[in-house]
């Protein structure tokens, strides 16, 4: 599976709500890095890369954004993230571009690897060439 949108189980009562992440329960990987994107200016896109080794899980914990996903063969789709109990899973070798961030949007990103610049593909044409070799 290159990507998938799924619901996260929400626990809560009249005091509030929480969502937890557990390997092999609601995440297909062990989290080795977490980061969040916030205060993104209008008309700015983030991401615009693919990763050779990293899998991702993205959650809009506040506000909303869109994620354009391109898989092998240049097939693209766009997913809207607009609730803190929906997650977008992205497998390795998927081009991602996050954009159209709402005011005060916070996008939480969980990944299965530590940061390694050498596994990033930042040129779209290079991505298309490399992904076609693996197809």
Active-site annotation, residues? 49
DSSP letters spanning 1-38: --EEEEEPPPEEETTEEE----BTTTBSS---EEEEEE
Alpha-carbon distance values, 126 to 72, 73, 90, 133 (Å)? 12, 12, 19, 11
């Amino acid at each position: 599976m290159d990507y998938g949108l799924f619901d996260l189980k929400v626990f809560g009562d009249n005091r509030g709500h929480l969502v937890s992440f557990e390997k092999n329960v609601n995440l297909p990987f062990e989290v080795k890095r977490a980061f969040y994107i916030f205060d993104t200016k209008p008309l700015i896109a983030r991401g615009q890369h693919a990763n050779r080794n990293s899998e991702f899980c993205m959650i809009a914990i506040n506000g909303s954004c869109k994620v354009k996903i391109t898989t092998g063969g240049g097939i693209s789709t766009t997913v809207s993230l607009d609730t803190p109990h929906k997650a977008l899973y992205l497998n390795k070798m998927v081009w991602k571009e996050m954009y159209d961030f709402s005011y005060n949007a916070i996008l939480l990103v969980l990944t299965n690897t530590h940061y390694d610049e050498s596994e990033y593909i930042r040129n779209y044409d290079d991505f298309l060439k490399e992904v076609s070799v693996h197809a």
